[in-house]
Amino acid sequence: MPIRVLLVDDSAIAMAVLKRILSSSPEIEVVGMAQTGREALALIPSCSPQVICTDLHMPQMDGLEFISEVMATYPRPILVISTSVQEEDRQNVFRLLEAGAVDIFPKPRGGAGSDYELVKQELIGKIKILAGVSVFTQYRKKPVLDFKFSTINSQAKIPHQKSKIVVVGASTGGPQALYNILIHLPANFPLPVICIQHISEGFLQGMVDWLGLECRLPVKIARAGEIPKAGTIYFPPERLHLELDTQGRFCHSAAPPVGGHRPSVTVTFKSVASFYGQGAVGILLTGMGRDGAEGMEAIARAGGVTIAQDEKSCVVFGMPKEAIALGAAQYVLPVTEIAPMLLAKIRGGD
């Protein structure tokens, strides 16, 4: 049976392009098209889509309201397909993920050529992944931890701890998982945090801006030559691997993709393991494939702490599953328990 997809976009041209792309796959069937959120909601019971693709801006009911309604009444995987060009929209796109959408994808343009073919295959691949994912209707919006560590004065002296840096890898479902962890880190968090998130080109800055507004720690794109600073969250630039040099400074690499990814989680994990050894804390979150599994194994072998997200709380249980299969995960936890574990270990100096 083909995957049933509902398209929601107020642009007839954009909808025609999407339908043409998806209909080119015998494994996908476009079962409905709507130009407003209200129209789409009315179609869901009869169309029974397995995946919904929606835009951000629509009349009558915008993407945020539409997704909130879907998750409350007909929860199922939602892919946000939107342009990332307008600066004011960058953060808004991630509000849709916060509301329950699973992933984002740049709006394809009509035409032919190698770029079109690449976009077509990527979009079809996204739909296939989303058709089999788990959907979560509730995320904790605000920090609820009662750890004493999270409430001490930001100028207070932090107890000595073995851990020196935290590195996190994620793919499909990652922005929501990262959000769920990072919002719980206090303003006086004593370690740098490096996050590697597979994300469609053009959306990185929006994710950084969104998390920067939600978190109590500054969030930024790592600059080459910069030394990771305690209490700061870093992301690699688009299309570049992020590593550490022999002095512990960030360096960017345009080396070939690893496992199809650049930036690669494994590349960063291995570099952090090499420089920090037992001082590294590696966290591998939801995502398709095996990127990060061998990197987590490197951290474990170096004596660091390793945490994998459990199957039940993963949108896609791929990357953590591979790390667990290698015996590289010391802890396997629901996403809501990762921040408490991280804070407890650092607070305990273990």
Q: Is-catalytic flag, 171?
A: yes
Which residue type occupies 227? I
Burial track 6-24 (b if 16+ CB lie within 10 A, e otherwise): bbbbbeeebbebbeebbee
| Catalytic entry in 150, 291, 310, 313 | 291
d(CA 32, CA 47): 6
| Catalytic entry in 198, 264, 310, 313 | 198
| Catalytic entry in 82, 171, 264, 271 | 171
Give DSSP secondary structure letters for 291-338.
Answer: TTHHHHHHHHHTT-EEEEE-TTT-SSBSHHHHHHHTT--SEEE-HHHH
At residue 263, φ and ψ (nearest 5 deg) are: -75, 150
d(CA 3, CA 48): 11
Q: How many residues does the chain have?
A: 350
Supply the DSSP symbol for 192. Answer: -
d(CA 243, CA 225): 11
Bridge-partner residues for 280, per DSSP? 165
Q: Is-catalytic flag, 150?
A: no
d(CA 239, CA 57): 28
Pairing of strands 51-54, 28-34: unpaired
Task: Give the angle subtended at the CA of 220 by the CAs of 218 and 222, to the nearest 5°.
Answer: 130
CB atoms within 10 A of CB 274: 15
- Closest by alpha carbon to 198, among 95, 271, 292? 292
Q: Is-catalytic flag, 134?
A: no
d(CA 93, CA 224): 28
Burial of residue 117, with CB atoms counted within 10 A of its CB: 0-12 exposed, 13-18 middle, 19 or more buried:
exposed
Point out the residues that are catalytic: 171, 198, 291
